[in-house]
Each structure stands twice: as structure tokens, then as C-alpha cells.
């Protein structure tokens, strides 16, 4: 293990754990995760536009947190729910704790933007100017730009005794305009900032003052569109004095609730729910901190929120749009691009089915290319010996080559069945489009099981061969999405093992028919037996510790929040089992607590790629077992979703995952944060003379890179 020291670059004092319970609060743990995302925007070692990207991700994450998690808490409060969470907080107490933790984070975010990122961007030739910083030539340009491009799409909406307060759509940016009329006195109007126009209005380079040291072709100048509108807003109210204009932004409840047992047509119900999302209850208003109290009160009154739902910040609102800057042609300010490789067994013009028959093939994205998965489905579509293809689709993205291959397979006369999960949050609209397209192509499309979200990642190809029918299977931890496969770390397996193929066939029968299959040969399936089997494997390791003193668990996942499974890990620790957890996001388990979790460590990996793979390792007294799959250790994954966890059975693949993947995660001192028993995280920083280990280094994580030492 390399020598390291700890550094805490961000203030974590706002985190207040419940000292009397064995669990951290879920919502506060999520805020700690987003604090780590923000820390990447502070990271001076990262390229400048990479830091901007993380600031945009931090802002987008907060939007989703309010739309889903905070909205749910507010619904509990409205319903009079007083039940405490396992960590001891009521809904009202959670809401108060969320605000007290977020207020200092907002200030850190704003300080980073205003005092660090914007000045450094300007120094590198990317200037985002306030309107009062513009020179006369730039102002003249914007007069014409406003008249030609912005003014025609603006719609001022008045709010007075004869006209109701206008609806403010979810995540929309608006101007609160105060007007002084001689007859009526002070009036209010809302102007929505058009989403169809760029948030950052580009300014001609030749109009800028000076030349600077950055070459002309690499200089960019922008101004915020809401400031352009505010500067010319009088044009919308001719003959009336405009006194003030202040930006504000609304966040609404966006969690679509589906009463499936009452929905005759799930597809139509989902479509209606997506349309209604923009009309959900308001859960947050962001305003400029210069907005007067009377305007804040007007907004709160008309949108039915309290003072604790209003967040006043300095600087521009809606910072997720800063992601647009990462599209600039400035490779000098970005992380060098990563080019995924085809693993050796699949290089060249290979018969993918013959390659799978030789041995199981493991793919580690994004270090390994996603192309073999697309090829697998495309070859199956064109192969005359393939009889049927079955697949689950959760988030496939736009212009999906996988979906097009499935439609082509149907055109070739093959049996094709696809489960499209319409309830994949924020991807419902895209999935509806693909579901309709698949149905038009003649594909058998099903939408999942009543009350359950299908999260499994499965593809099954049934092929006629000289010795009979053979089933080829792909199972993975990530979605069938070529776009996210370049950004997320995921693991997938191509195999034709008969027992796994039979299990996947049984699972598809469970998904599409009336099967009540309870036992599977190799798979652990939620909500059927995954909780029971996973808990049993943890208990087995606990017993191995009692008998042999060598208990060892390594789990990697996105989130660890299920209290019963956390209790099982606590019991293992109390028996002496060494437990290493790699948890990217929320973790309610308290590590390192005397008498409770002394042998448990928890680390989070935050870097250029989103850690998304789920890996479960059991030492099992030397008869090691590794399981991969789609499920995190959360109540929803274990009890309310269809998930699958599958074993790695080929020795070389097991050694690679154990020695190269898991060992590297545990040695990482570049992207790793360590969870403390008080709920805060400290970043691991290598000593000056220590080896730097980055678990997102492609050279370390590709399968053909050899193996590390015994864990």
C-alpha cells in the first residue's frame, strides 16, 4: 500500500450525522456525494474545462435532487407523515438539515465560479462577460441581435387583478419585471428566457477590446442571454417605465407517479405523466441575491412555497448550462481524449459466436469499446442461423444502433422480443419513441411488470447450430447505450454457458409471461431471491471468519442505503470479517465505529468517468466468488425492481476483476475519497515520493494488462 496523507479541500462541517443511530441520513449522504463532485471543480490539477464540466454536473445533480428527493419529502410533510427515517429524522427535520447543508455549498459554488473559474477562463481566451462589462461595439452588436433573434420569441405575461399569475415551467429561467404605471402604480410581469436560443450569446471576436496573448482562433466571448433581455426589456413594454428586472428559476416536482393497476394503457399513462412533469408542485426557487424582499414574497405567495424553499445566490442561475463550454474546440483545456479498444478475442473480422464458444469474454467499458455489443446484436440480426433475440432496454439514448439492429432482425424474419422500461426516470420520452418504433417494425414489445421497474441488463440470442440449439448471452452492469458507454465504467459478459443461458431464458419468461420462477441455477434475481441470496453470502463469509479467521468482502456499487443489508455487513465486521466497500454515491453505513464496524472501510471514486459497475467479491475460504450485475444495495433494487446478479466462472476473468480492478480501486490515491465515521469524506493525496495510482487510468484497467498481487 502506498503512503498517503489526507487533505480536506472543502468545508464539510455542515454535515450533521445522527450520533445515536447506526446509519447516516440518505439525503445528507447524497449531499456529501455532490460535495465531492464540486471538489473536482476546485481541483487545480484538472484541466480548466474539465473543472467547468464538474461545476455544471454539480448544478444538474442539485436540480434532480430537488425534483425527486426533496419533492418526495415535501409530499410527506403535506400528508402529515411524522415517521422517522432509520437515522432518526422526521421529514421536516430532513428538510431543515438539507437546507443547512446546501447553503454553504451554494456559497462555495459561487465563489468558485466568480473568483476562480471565470477569471481563469478569461485568461485563457474564454470570456463570459456581464452586460456592464461590454464595450460600445459589443453593445451595438447586441442591439441588432436582440431585435433579430430574441425579441420575436419573447412573450411578456402580466400578472394583475384581471390576469392570473402565469405558470412557471420546471427549470425555466425567467425575469421578474417590475413596471411603474402612472394609472395603476407598480405592476409585475414575467418574461421567460427562451430555451430555443443559446444561454451564452456569442460575441464577435473582432469587437473585443485588446488582443491578449491567446491567438484569435482560440478566443471566445459570450454574454448571458438573460442580461441581454434585461438590458432591452423596455422594448416589450412601450410607453411604460420598466423599473427593475431580476432573474429567477423554478424547480418543480418531476417524479412521475404511475398507478399501474388503474392504467389500462401504460404507454399512454407514461406519456401523460411526462407532459405533466412541468406542472408539478414547486419545490425550489432560485433568485438573484439582489432581488428585493417584496418581489421574493410575491413569487413565494403565488407559487405556494415557504421562505426555506427560496435560495438566493450571487451570479448567474442555472449553471448546468456551463456544460456548453465543453463543446469548444480547446483541447488544450480538456483531458486528453480516451479511445476505447477492442479486446484481443474480438479484434479483426471475427465470428463473434465462435469467439464466445471458445471462452467467456469480459468487457470493461469505457476502456473496452462498446462496439462488440452492437456487433453482437447486428450479427445476430443478419445471421440466418439465429432464430430469436430477446433484450431489455432501460436507457438506450437517441439514434440507438442497438434498437435499429433489433428492428432489422425482425425484418429478417427472426423472433424478437424487447422489454422497454417506460419508467426509466427522465428517459421516458425517448423510450416511448423507441417502443413505438419497435412495435411498428413488428417486434414484440412489453413494458415490464406491474409495480416493478425492470433494471436488468440482458440480451439473449437463440441460434441453431450443428449440435442443436445454443443460447448466447450478454449480461452487464450498464445500459445498452453507446453514448454513456464512453463515459461510464461498466462491466459486461458475453457467454454461452448452458446454465446461464437457461437462467436468462427463464428470466425473460418471467418478464414477458406468467412465470413464477423462484429458483435459478446461477443468477440472483430481484425481487425473487436476490436479497435472500446476497444476505446468505454475507452470512457465509461471517461463518468462514468464525471457522477460519479469513473472512473477506469487497463490494463496489453506486449506493449503499438498505438498513437490513447494512446490518448484515455490521455483523460480519463484528465477527472480524475485513470489508472494503467502494461506494460512489450515497452510503448510510458508518465505517470504523468501535464495536460496530471497526473492520469496514468505505471509499468513493470520483473522476473523469462515472463509476457505474457493481461488483461483489467473497473470499469464501479460498474458493473465491465474484458476482456482477445491475443492482445496488438499495431497497428499490432489492425489492421493487427486476435486477440480476451473475457469477464470473472463468478463472482468468475472476483473477482480472479481483487483482486488476478491485485491487486498483483499493490502492487509488488520485480519485479516492475515504468516508469517516462522522460522515465526512477526506481525499487521499499521495506523498511526494509515493506512486500515484489512478483507478481510471486505461492502462491499468484494460483486461490485457496483466494482474496485480494477491488481495
pLDDT tens digits, one per residue of 398-448: 778 999 999 999 999 999 999 887 664 545 566 677 677 888 888 888 877
Q: Give me the mean pLDDT over the 669-680 stretch.
A: 96
Nearest Cα residue to 233 out of 222, 225, 224, 242: 242
DSSP classification of residue 9: -
Residue 623 CB-density burial (10 A; 0-12 exposed, 13-18 middle, 19+ buried): exposed
What DSSP element (H or E) covers 454? strand 453-454
Q: Give me the mean pLDDT over the 12-30 stretch.
A: 73
Let me know if 455 is a catalytic residue.
yes
Give the pLDDT confidence score for residue 575 in this predicted structure. 98
Give the distance from CA 346 to its chain's centroid. 30
Phi-psi region of 12 (alpha: psi -120 to 50; beta: other; left: phi over 0): alpha
User: Model confidence over 503-538: pLDDT tens digits?
Assistant: 999 999 988 877 677 889 999 999 999 999 999 999
Query: Does domain 525-705 fall into CATH 3.30.870.10?
Result: yes
Instruction: Compute the distance between CA of residue 423 and CA of residue 690 in angstroms, rounded to an integer.
Output: 47
Residue spans per domain, the chain:
47-74+91-260+283-333, 344-521, 525-705
* 141-150, 275-284, 316-325: least confidently modelled range: 275-284
* 153-157, 282-286, 429-433: least confidently modelled range: 429-433
Is the predicted pLDDT of residue 3 greater than 50, yes or no? no
Confidence class of residue 11 from pLDDT cuts 50, 70 and 90? Answer: very low
**Residue among 455, 466, 533, 548 flagged as catalytic:** 455
Give the pLDDT confidence score for residue 710 in this predicted structure. 40
Higher pLDDT, 212 or 315: 315
Burial 543-560 (b: 16+ CB within 10 A, else e): ebbeeeeebbbbbbbbbb
Instruction: Compute the distance between CA of residue 376 and CA of residue 373 in angstroms, rounded to an integer.
Output: 5
Phi-psi region of 610 (alpha: psi -120 to 50; beta: other; left: phi over 0): beta
Contact 174, 250 (CB under 8 A): yes
Instruction: Compute the distance between CA of residue 577 and CA of residue 570 in angstroms, rounded to an integer.
Output: 9
Give the pLDDT confidence score for residue 19 in this predicted structure. 59
Any bridge partners for residue 557, and if so which?
583
**Same fold for the pair 47-74+91-260+283-333 and 344-521:** no
Instruction: Compute the distance between CA of residue 165 and CA of residue 579 in angstroms, rounded to an integer.
Output: 56
Q: Give me the mean pLDDT over the 605-623 stretch.
A: 97
Give the pLDDT confidence score for residue 451 in this predicted structure. 76
Contact 461, 426 (CB under 8 A): no
Give the chain's mean pLDDT: 89
CATH superfamily, domain 344-521, is Endonuclease Chain A (3.30.870.10)
Confidence class of residue 18 from pLDDT cuts 50, 70 and 90? Answer: very low
Give the pLDDT confidence score for residue 256 in this predicted structure. 52
Q: Give me the mean pLDDT over the 123-133 stretch.
A: 95
**Residue 241, C-beta contacts closer than 8 angstroms, at least 6 positions apart:** 179, 180, 181
Q: Give me the mean pLDDT over the 51-76 stretch.
A: 94
**CATH of segment(s) 47-74+91-260+283-333:** 3.30.1840.10
User: Model confidence over 158-171: pLDDT tens digits?
Assistant: 887 667 888 898 99
Name the residue with cell 469467439: 355
User: Model confidence over 536-594: pLDDT tens digits?
Assistant: 999 999 999 999 999 999 999 999 999 999 999 999 999 999 999 999 999 999 999 99
Amino acid at each position: 500500500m502506498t503512503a498517503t496523507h489526507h487533505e480536506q479541500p472543502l468545508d464539510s462541517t455542515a454535515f450533521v450525522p445522527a450520533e445515536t443511530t447506526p446509519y447516516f441520513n440518505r439525503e445528507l449522504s447524497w449531499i456529501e456525494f455532490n460535495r465531492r463532485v464540486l471538489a473536482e471543480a476546485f481541483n487545480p490539477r484538472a484541466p480548466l474545462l474539465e473543472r467547468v464540466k464538474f461545476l455544471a454536473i454539480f448544478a444538474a445533480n442539485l436540480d434532480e435532487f430537488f425534483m425527486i428527493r426533496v419533492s418526495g419529502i415535501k409530499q410527506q410533510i403535506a400528508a402529515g407523515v411524522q415517521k422517522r427515517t432509520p437515522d432518526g429524522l422526521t421529514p421536516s427535520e430532513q428538510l431543515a438539515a438539507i437546507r443547512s447543508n446546501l447553503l454553504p455549498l451554494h456559497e462555495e459554488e459561487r465563489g468558485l465560479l466568480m473568483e476562480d473559474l471565470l477569471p481563469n477562463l478569461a485568461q485563457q481566451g474564454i470570456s463570459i462577460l456581464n452586460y456592464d462589462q461590454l464595450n460600445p461595439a459589443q453593445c451595438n452588436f447586441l442591439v441588432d441581435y436582440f431585435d433579430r433573434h430574441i425579441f420575436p420569441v419573447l412573450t411578456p405575461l402580466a400578472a394583475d387583478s384581471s390576469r392570473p399569475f402565469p405558470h412557471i415551467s420546471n427549470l425555466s429561467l425567467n425575469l421578474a419585471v417590475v413596471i411603474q404605471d402612472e394609472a395603476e402604480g407598480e405592476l409585475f410581469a414575467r418574461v421567460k428566457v427562451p430555451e430555443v436560443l443559446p444561454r451564452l450569446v456569442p460575441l464577435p471576436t473582432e469587437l473585443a477590446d485588446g488582443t491578449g496573448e491567446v491567438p484569435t482562433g482560440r478566443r471566445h466571448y459570450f454574454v448571458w442571454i438573460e442580461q441581454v433581455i434585461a438590458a432591452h426589456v423596455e422594448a416589450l413594454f412601450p410607453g411604460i417605465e420598466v423599473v427593475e428586472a431580476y432573474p429567477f428559476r423554478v424547480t418543480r416536482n418531476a417524479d412521475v407517479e404511475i398507478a399501474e393497476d388503474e392504467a389500462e394503457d401504460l404507454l399512454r399513462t407514461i406519456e401523460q405523466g411526462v407532459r405533466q412533469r412541468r406542472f408539478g408542485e414547486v419545490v425550489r426557487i432560485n433568485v438573484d441575491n439582489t432581488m428585493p424582499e417584496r418581489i421574493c414574497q410575491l413569487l413565494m405567495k403565488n407559487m405556494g412555497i415557504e421562505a426555506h424553499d427560496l435560495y438566493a445566490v450571487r451570479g448567474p442561475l442555472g449553471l448546468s448550462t456551463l456544460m456548453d463550454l465543453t463543446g469548444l474546440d480547446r483541447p488544450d483545456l480538456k483531458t486528453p481524449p480516451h479511445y476505447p479498444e477492442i479486446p484481443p478475442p474480438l479484434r479483426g473480422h471475427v465470428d463473434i459466436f465462435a469467439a464466445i464458444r471458445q471462452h467467456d469474454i469480459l468487457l470493461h467499458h469505457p476502456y473496452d469499446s462498446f462496439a462488440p455489443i452492437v456487433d453482437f446484436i447486428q450479427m445476430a440480426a443478419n445471421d440466418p442461423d439465429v432464430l430469436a433475440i430477446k433484450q431489455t432496454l432501460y436507457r438506450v439514448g437517441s439514434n440507438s444502433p442497438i434498437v435499429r439492429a433489433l428492428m432489422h432482425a425482425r425484418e429478417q424474419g427472426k423472433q424478437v422480443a424487447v422489454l422497454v422500461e417506460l419508467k426509466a426516470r427522465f428517459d421516458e420520452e425517448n423510450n416511448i419513441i423507441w417502443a413505438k418504433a419497435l412495435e411498428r417494425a413488428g417486434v414484440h414489445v412489453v413494458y415490464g411488470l406491474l409495480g416493478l421497474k425492470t433494471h436488468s441488463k440482458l440480451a439473449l440470442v437463440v441460434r441453431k447450430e450443428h449440435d442443436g440449439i445454443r443460447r448466447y448471452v450478454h449480461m452487464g452492469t450498464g445500459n445498452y447505450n453507446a453514448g454513456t458507454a464512453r463515459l461510464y465504467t461498466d462491466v459486461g459478459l458475453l457467454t454461452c454457458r448452458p446454465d446461464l443461458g437457461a437462467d436468462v431464458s427463464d428470466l425473460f419468461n418471467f418478464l414477458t409471461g406468467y412465470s413464477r420462477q423462484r429458483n435459478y441455477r446461477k443468477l440472483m434475481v430481484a425481487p425473487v431471491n436476490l436479497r435472500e441470496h446476497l444476505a446468505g453470502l454475507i452470512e457465509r463469509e461471517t461463518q468462514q471468519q468464525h471457522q477460519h479467521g479469513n473472512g473477506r468482502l469487497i463490494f463496489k456499487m453506486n449506493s449503499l442505503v438498505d438498513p437490513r443489508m447494512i446490518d448484515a455487513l455490521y455483523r460480519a465486521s463484528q465477527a472480524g470479517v475485513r470489508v472494503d466497500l467502494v461506494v460512489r454515491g450515497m452510503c448510510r453505513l458508518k465505517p470504523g465505529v468501535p464495536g460496530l464496524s471497526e473492520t469496514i472501510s468505505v471509499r468513493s471514486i470520483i473522476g473523469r468517468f462515472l463509476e457505474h459497475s457493481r461488483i461483489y467479491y467473497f473470499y469464501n475460504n479460498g474458493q473465491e466468488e465474484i458476482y456482477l450485475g445491475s443492482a445496488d444495495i438499495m431497497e428499490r433494487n432489492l425489492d421493487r425492481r427486476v435486477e440480476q446478479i451473475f457469477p464470473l466462472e472463468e478463472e482468468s476473468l475472476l483473477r482480472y476483476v479481483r487483482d486488476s480492478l478491485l485491487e486498483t480501486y483499493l490502492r487509488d490515491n488520485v480519485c479516492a475519497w475515504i468516508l469517516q465515521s462522522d460522515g465526512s469524506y477526506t481525499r487521499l493525496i499521495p506523498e511526494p515520493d509515493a506512486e500515484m495510482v489512478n483507478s481510471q487510468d486505461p492502462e491499468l484497467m484494460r483486461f490485457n494488462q496483466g494482474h496485480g498481487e494477491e488481495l
